Chain A
Amino acid sequence: MKTLKDMKEGEKTHVVKINGDGALRRRMMDMGLIDGTAVTVRRFAPLGDPIELSVRGFELSLRKADAELVEVK
């Protein structure tokens, strides 16, 4: 099972599933991370965390711990 956290800079993929529950999961989905969404990992912050993603034409930032909840292809 691969998650967003395991991706490299510049890699493109599609979301398979969002794990977790409550506010965090809902927030990620509200921001457009749902089944089949195309995601590109833009870069990691200078201290290695958080991650910057490109989703649906805008830039989204997630912590690695949360990115682990996003299963990707």
Chain B
Amino acid sequence: MSLKIALAGNPNTGKTTLFNALTGSSQHVGNWPGVTVEKKEGLLRADKSVVVEDLPGIYSLSPYTLDEVVARNYLTKERPDAILNIVDASNLERNLYLTTQLLELGIPMVIALNMRDVLQSRRDRLDAGCLAESLGCPCIPISALRGDGIPAVVQTVLDAAHGKGTRMPHPIAFDAPVERELASVAVILKGKIAPELERWASIKAFEQDWEALAEFKLGKEDMAKLKAVAEEAEKRLDDTGSVAITCGRYAFSERLVGRCLAIKAAGALTASDRIDRVVTNRWLALPIFVAVMGLVYYIAISTVGTMGTDWVNDVLFGEIVPRWLDTMQERLRLSAWLFSLVKDGIVAGVGSVLGFLPQMLVLFALLAILEDCGYMARIAFIMDRLFRRFGLSGKSFIPFMVGTGCGVPGVMSSRSIENINDRRLTVMTTTFMPCSAKLPIIALICGAVFDGSFWVAPAAYFIGIASIIVSGVMLKKTRLFAGDPSPFVIELPAYHWPGVMGVLRTVFERGMAFVKKAGSIILLATVLVWFLSSYDFRMRQVDEKESMLCTVSSVIAPVFAPTGFGDWRATAATITGLIAKENLVGTYRVLYQPPEDGTDGGQANEAGRTEETAALQPAESAVEEEPEDGSDYWEDFRRSYTPLAAFCLLIFNLLCAPCFAAIGAIHREMSSPRMTLFAVSYQCVFAYAVSMVVYQFGRLFGAERHFGFGTIAAAGLVVCAFYMLFFKKTFKAEEDR
């Protein structure tokens, strides 16, 4: 059995930096079983037989947040050989509060005192020996960022894990009245659980934290006794056990800090305070926020990121790889279908995964910097009021903003939202924002049907925003998102310089996660659509116009009759739009091609292919192409749809399931196939409902004055939505218990 060391500590203490320093590149990122909390472990650099488990950053071992439950279950059930508790020396009182709880677990412990430069610049003096004395475990000053003191920490924690020369840490003592109650609890537990867990269990019983006691599988009788004792104690102390314990811990922590820390200049403004005076200032906060967001968007979406993505799409997968494939084909002489599968299916699929990568890496780097330096928490602070009404977090702003560029990094940037429900809601609604790949669709419909009217594009954005708000309010009330509301009681960490290595590592990790998890879905789906659009049912390679896709589309198409665009072309275009939204335009162009255009089947096929590859390029280029050769099929398009139907087609494609790449990203972030399926179905149903309501009411109030079954159904939907928005009560988790 290899040794296990658990790394525990508050958030924003340099825990990740220390973890990176301890384990180097041998890290494995996954999920804790059954929950969506990220699980990170790695092998100790100095001794590869030792596993270091990076527990989630927590403030306490209370049973209320998922992170805390995960951490404490690991500590009490898996029983690591040693705990390495990282303590931020510049924030001792609160950090030691967690330490007092870790001491009670009966596991050898070592404290790494992260001496931030902050502490030195404040000229405070911290006596590590004094801390070690009072806590009964070694305290080693380190600087996680500069790597000072790491070898000493490694050596000490290894000794502790091996059980060499270390005593068990001694838990803190509470006030006499509390200790008396704890003693009467301990009597009941004596002999029934492992002695090293007795202190922990007595305190949990006194706090009436029955969840923590469940694992000890005590008999019914004992549990009843414990309950009785705890309730009696509550009466005697005139307070709940958990209040008494919390107060005891903080009182201890205060006394300890008073003894061991000499503060030179109390009350002086730190650099962080001065930054915050400006950054969260009542008047300046919003302009600064807009500027920071503008900069992120500019770098990731408008310039650097897109340049990289354009290069991968246009040069690497537009020229280099196809040319190389063609040369290979000359030598290998694969059969036509196999070559097409490789070139148009697999390579196009891989291309659409990798094409997003440069943009995403740039964005991840920027977000990691924002998070690392402390500004991300301020975003939640600044935007909370606006977003919480819609059941979202202040941090949801970033995914939505990035989503106007591209939904894939948009969805991926939801990671910094702590609350699982807020995060899932954000992931589900991010792709409602019109991304740049939807611009060609807007351009097509605006240009072909509405003579380039100014209002179409703003309307698209308005519909996107409104859909996010409506969905947020409605979904938040459902059982699925009821859960325990996680309270908005957040720390605004002191600003500090982000570590370059830490940022790079985050970028690498998230990039790999996207390629692995999202990549597989994208590749599979792209190959499937390639197959559908290149073959007919007799498995002959044909032009898109005669392919299975069109046959399938004509079967599905009637479903869309109530939304106004029930012709098979719309369905086929929507399906190809799942590869990349701008494909919709390319598909329309192919489908409206006059038959005499392609006298020879192979030639038409060729044209179809180029169309599709062209459509895979980023939006801007597709928009620019439009005016030159657009008009030829715009005419046909205009004849096929009434303006109302065309507008509904636009709405549907803006809101329905996003491209496969974005679905892959949703899958990555939901880390649950069920939730992914729910998200995509919700988007499709919502898109269908909105376009149907618009179409039916448009016909009723428009020139047609048409009234029918569809109108009644649409009215029903509107009533349902109103009920959900204004009358339905939020589903309460408590009623469920």
Binding site for B on A (CB under 8 A): 22-24, 26-32, 34-35, 37, 42-50, 52, 56-63, 66
Across the interface, do B489 and A28 meet the contact criterion of CB distance under 8 Å? yes
Contacts A29-B243, A57-B91; A62 near B488 (Cβ below 8 A): yes
Across the interface, do B489 and A62 meet the contact criterion of CB distance under 8 Å? yes
- Given the complex of chains A and B, what is the CA–CA distance between A58 and B490 in angstroms? 11
- Given the complex of chains A and B, what is the CA–CA distance between A56 and B251 in angstroms? 12
Which of A22, A27, A49, A52 has the most chain B CB atoms inside 10 A of its CB? A27
Binding site for A on B (CB under 8 A): 59-60, 62, 64-65, 90-94, 97, 242-243, 246-247, 250, 276, 280-283, 285-286, 377, 380-382, 384-386, 388, 484-494
Contacts A29-B243, A61-B489; A56 near B94 (Cβ below 8 A): yes
Across the interface, do A34 and B489 meet the contact criterion of CB distance under 8 Å? no
Contacts A22-B64, A23-B484, A32-B250; A46 near B489 (Cβ below 8 A): no
A interface SS class:
mixed
The residue in chain B whose Cβ has the minimal distance to the Cβ of A21 is B240
Minimal beta-carbon separation of B375 from chain A (angstroms): 13
Instruction: Note all chain A residues with C-beta closer than 8 A to B242.
Output: 26, 29
Give me 6 other A-B pairs in contact (C-beta within 8 A), A49-B385, A50-B385 excluded: A23-B486, A26-B62, A32-B93, A34-B247, A59-B492, A63-B388
Across the interface, do A63 and B282 meet the contact criterion of CB distance under 8 Å? no
Instruction: Note all chain B residues with C-beta closer than 8 A to A63.
Output: 384, 388, 488
Across the interface, do A57 and B93 meet the contact criterion of CB distance under 8 Å? yes
Which of A23, A26, A32 has the most chain B CB atoms inside 10 A of its CB? A26
- Given the complex of chains A and B, what is the CA–CA distance between A65 and B552 in angstroms? 54
Across the interface, do B59 and A31 meet the contact criterion of CB distance under 8 Å? yes
Across the interface, do B491 and A26 meet the contact criterion of CB distance under 8 Å? no
Contacts A30-B246, A60-B489, A66-B488; A45 near B93 (Cβ below 8 A): no
The residue in chain A whose Cβ has the minimal distance to the Cβ of B59 is A30
Minimal beta-carbon separation of A12 from chain B (angstroms): 11
Across the interface, do B250 and A26 meet the contact criterion of CB distance under 8 Å? no
Across the interface, do A27 and B280 meet the contact criterion of CB distance under 8 Å? no
Cβ 8 A contact of A45, one of B90, B377, B384, B484 = B384
The residue in chain B whose Cβ has the minimal distance to the Cβ of A28 is B489
Across the interface, do B490 and A61 meet the contact criterion of CB distance under 8 Å? yes
Question: 7 smallest A-B Cβ distances: which pairs?
Answer: A30-B60, A59-B492, A23-B64, A47-B385, A46-B285, A24-B487, A56-B93
Across the interface, do B488 and A29 meet the contact criterion of CB distance under 8 Å? no
Contacts A23-B64, A58-B91; A66 near B280 (Cβ below 8 A): no
Instruction: Note all chain A residues with C-beta closer than 8 A to B90.
Output: 57
Cβ 8 A contact of A34, one of B91, B246, B286 = B246
Instruction: Note all chain A residues with C-beta closer than 8 A to B491.
Output: 31, 58-61
Instruction: Note all chain A residues with C-beta closer than 8 A to B276.
Output: 42, 59
**CB pairs A–B below 8 angstroms (17 shown):** A23-B64, A23-B65, A26-B60, A26-B62, A28-B489, A32-B94, A34-B250, A45-B382, A46-B282, A50-B384, A50-B385, A57-B91, A58-B94, A59-B276, A61-B381, A61-B491, A66-B489
The residue in chain A whose Cβ has the minimal distance to the Cβ of B486 is A23
Minimal beta-carbon separation of B266 from chain A (angstroms): 10
Minimal beta-carbon separation of B69 from chain A (angstroms): 12
The residue in chain B whose Cβ has the minimal distance to the Cβ of A48 is B385
Across the interface, do B490 and A60 meet the contact criterion of CB distance under 8 Å? yes
Across the interface, do B488 and A50 meet the contact criterion of CB distance under 8 Å? yes
Minimal beta-carbon separation of B652 from chain A (angstroms): 34
